[in-house]
Amino acid sequence: NAGVTQTPKFQVLKTGQSMTLQCAQDMNHEYMSWYRQDPGMGLRLIHYSVGAGITDQGEVPNGYNVSRSTTEDFPLRLLSAAPSQTSVYFCASSWTGWNAPLHFGNGTRLTVT
Amino acid sequence: SQQGEEDPQALSIQEGENATMNCSYKTSINNLQWYRQNSGRGLVHLILIRSNEREKHSGRLRVTLDTSKKSSSLLITASRAADTASYFCATDASTGANSKLTFGKGITLSVRP
């Protein structure tokens, strides 16, 4: 039981490049979410999903796309990277949403130059 | 603005002492959660307390919730060097279509051996 797995651990992009951050969970959780963590800002919700085929925007969705074709996977796409997207990105999942503990991956540290 | 705000921002104590961390929030909540984050890692869930609960325990952790004051506290008793980490409170104030778990900016706890 690996929990929540994020890849890659580190990534450097040039401005304008695109990439996909991968997130997979093996706990059969319905809820999955993406957060970004910036110094002094805490964690901010980017997008979330309440089940396969259903996604919704969080607090800071601009510049990011998500899809949820399976229960296990919830990739986050950066369409055209900007330096403001330099951050640490965390994927999290839970059984039933915000009324249950979140299980976090170990994060992806992204630098956009 | 952040829903949950932790206090103090940083705390340094000697091993064996107790550590008390506080979280205040602005609107009514369904539940409040505390998480720990070790350096370079994802967040780990500690305790979830629902709005109709006043106190919960888990090992050396005690969490209280005062909904009239819109505040919560996390007490770590008999602290150890391994408790050194950042601690976050997160509030679920979801209503209908507005659904999210909002994190505070965190408290940095240092436990000196």
State yes or no: pLDDT of B92 exceeds 50: yes
Q: Which two tokens stand for residue B71?
A: 């505040």
Place B97 in a pLDDT band, splitting at 50, 70 and 90. low
**Chain A residues closer than 8 Å to B2 by CB:** 42
**Chain A residues closer than 8 Å to B41 by CB:** 106-107
Kindly determine whether residue B33 and residue A92, on different chains, have CB atoms separated by under 8 Å: no
Which of A4-8, A10-14, A31-35, A98-102 shows the lowest per-residue confidence on average (mean pLDDT)?
A98-102
Cα angle vertex B45, ends B41, B47, to 5°?
Answer: 150
State yes or no: pLDDT of B1 exceeds 70: no
Buried-exposed string A47-73: b where 16+ CB fall within 10 A, e elsewhere:
bbbbebeebeebebbeebebebeebbe
Q: Rounded to a whole number, what is the distance in Å from the CA of A23 to chain B's nearest CA?
A: 13
Helices (H) and strands (E) in chain B, counts: 0, 11
**Chain A residues closer than 8 Å to B101 by CB:** 33, 45, 98, 102
The predicted pLDDT at position A98 comes to 82
Kindly determine whether residue B45 and residue A101, on different chains, have CB atoms separated by under 8 Å: yes
Burial class (CB in 10 A: 0-12, 13-18, 19+), A82: middle
State yes or no: pLDDT of B98 exceeds 70: no
> Could you check whether the bond before residue A83 is cis, i.e. omega within 30 degrees of 0?
no
pLDDT tens column, A30-69: 999 999 999 888 899 999 999 999 999 999 999 999 999 9
The alpha carbon torsion through A10, A49, A105, B50 (nearest 10 deg) reads 140
Q: What are phi and psi of B82, to 5 degrees?
A: -70, -10
CA nearest to A89 within chain B = B42
Percentage of chain B surpassing pLDDT 70? Answer: 95
**Arithmetic mean of pLDDT, B64-89:** 97
Other beta carbons within 10 Å of B111: 20
State yes or no: pLDDT of B3 exceeds 80: no
Percentage of chain A surpassing pLDDT 90? Answer: 90
Chain B contact for A4 (CB, 8 A cutoff): yes
Other beta carbons within 10 Å of A106: 17
Of the partner residues A48, A90, A99, the one whose CB lies closest to the CB of residue B30: A99
The predicted pLDDT at position B2 comes to 52
Q: Which two tokens stand for residue A109?
A: 């540290």
Place B5 in a pLDDT band, splitting at 50, 70 and 90. confident
The predicted pLDDT at position A42 comes to 86
Place A1 in a pLDDT band, splitting at 50, 70 and 90. confident
Place B95 in a pLDDT band, splitting at 50, 70 and 90. confident
**Arithmetic mean of pLDDT, A85-113:** 95
Chain B contact for A88 (CB, 8 A cutoff): no
Give the whole-angstrom CA distance, residue A42 versus residue A40.
6
Q: Which two tokens stand for residue B20?
A: 């008390």
**Chain B residues closer than 8 Å to A105 by CB:** 42
pLDDT tens column, B19-51: 999 999 999 999 999 999 999 999 999 999 999
pLDDT tens column, A72-82: 999 999 999 99
Residue B95 pairs in a beta bridge with: B98
CA nearest to A50 within chain B = B99
Kindly determine whether residue A103 and residue B45, on different chains, have CB atoms separated by under 8 Å: yes
